Amino acid sequence: MTLDPHLDALAAALSGTVAATPALDTLLQVLETMPVMVALLDTQRRHVYANRSYREYMGRDLPTLVGHTLAGPMGEEQFRATQAMAERALKGEVVQSEGWMPFNGGGQQRYVVRLHGPHRGPDGEIAGYFVLMQDMTERRQMQDDLFRLAYYDPVTGLANRLLLLKHMGDYQAVGEPFTLVIIDIDRFVEIRTSLGQGFANELLIDLAHRLGRDGGPVDLLARVSDHAFAMLVAGDCDAPAIEQRIAAATGIVRSARSSSGAAVFLSASIGVATWNAAHERPEDVLRDAEIATGRAREGGGARHAWFDPTMHAHVVEQVRIEHDLRHALERNENLWVAYQPIVEMVTGGLAGFEALVRWNHPERGNIPPGVFIPIAESTGLVVTLGKWVLREACLQLADWQDKRIPGSAPLFMSVNLSTRQLADPDFVNQVRDVLRETGVEPSWIKLELTESAVMEKAEQSIRLLEGLRALGIKLSIDDFGTGYSSLSYLHKLPIDSLKVDRSFVSAMHQSEENRAIVRIIVDLARLLGFDVIAEGIETTADANLLRALACDYGQGYHFARPMPPADAEALVVNEPPWREAM
How far is CA 223 from each of CA 55, 175, 279, 505, rounded to the nearest angstrom? 47, 25, 22, 50
pLDDT, tens only, 327-345: 999 998 999 999 999 999 9
3-state SS, residue 345 = coil
| Strand intervals (E) in 81-208 | 95-102, 109-120, 126-135, 178-185
Nearest residue to 254 (alpha-carbon basis) of 214, 207, 220: 207
| Fold of the domain built from segment(s) 333-576 | TIM Barrel (3.20.20)
Task: Find out if CATH 3.30.70.270 is the number for domain 153-307.
Answer: yes
pLDDT of residue 5: 58
The most confident of the ranges 65-79, 361-375, 389-403, 412-426 is 389-403
In the predicted model, what is the mean pLDDT of residues 41-45?
95
19 compared with 186, residue with greater pLDDT: 186
Q: Which of 9-13, 117-121, 396-400, 489-493 has the lowest mean pLDDT?
A: 9-13
Do 5-140 and 153-307 agree at the fold level?
Answer: no
pLDDT of residue 4: 53
| Per-residue pLDDT band at 1 (split at 50, 70, 90) | very low
Q: How far apart are CA 62 and CA 54, in angstroms?
A: 10
pTM of this prediction exceeds 0.75: no
In the predicted model, what is the mean pLDDT of residues 354-373?
93
**20 pLDDT more than 90:** no
In the predicted model, what is the mean pLDDT of residues 141-157?
89
pLDDT, tens only, 256-300: 887 777 777 889 999 999 999 889 999 999 999 999 999 999 888
pLDDT, tens only, 554-580: 999 999 999 999 999 999 999 889 987
How far is CA 20 from each of CA 11, 39, 47, 167, rounded to the nearest angstrom? 6, 19, 21, 58
In the predicted model, what is the mean pLDDT of residues 220-229?
95
Q: Are 87 and 100 in contact (CB under 8 A)?
A: no
In the predicted model, what is the mean pLDDT of residues 435-451?
93
| Per-residue pLDDT band at 9 (split at 50, 70, 90) | low
Eight-state DSSP code of residue 508: T
Residues composing the chain: 582
Radius of gyration of the chain (CA): 40
Q: How far apart are CA 75 and CA 60, in angstroms?
A: 13
pLDDT of residue 318: 85
3-state SS, residue 34 = coil
φ/ψ region of 59 (left if φ > 0, alpha if ψ in -120 to 50, else beta) reads left
How far is CA 379 from each of CA 207, 326, 335, 540, rounded to the nearest angstrom? 29, 10, 18, 41
Q: How far apart are CA 295 and CA 304, in angstroms?
A: 8
CATH number of 5-140: 3.30.450.20
**179 pLDDT more than 90:** yes
93 compared with 6, residue with greater pLDDT: 93
pLDDT of residue 395: 96
How far is CA 256 from each of CA 30, 266, 514, rounded to the nearest angstrom? 64, 7, 45
In the predicted model, what is the mean pLDDT of residues 365-391?
91
Nearest residue to 431 (alpha-carbon basis) of 472, 492, 374: 472
Q: Are 227 and 266 in contact (CB under 8 A)?
A: no
For the chain, what are the domain ranges? 5-140, 153-307, 333-576
Q: Are 451 and 493 in contact (CB under 8 A)?
A: no
Nearest residue to 423 (alpha-carbon basis) of 96, 264, 190: 190
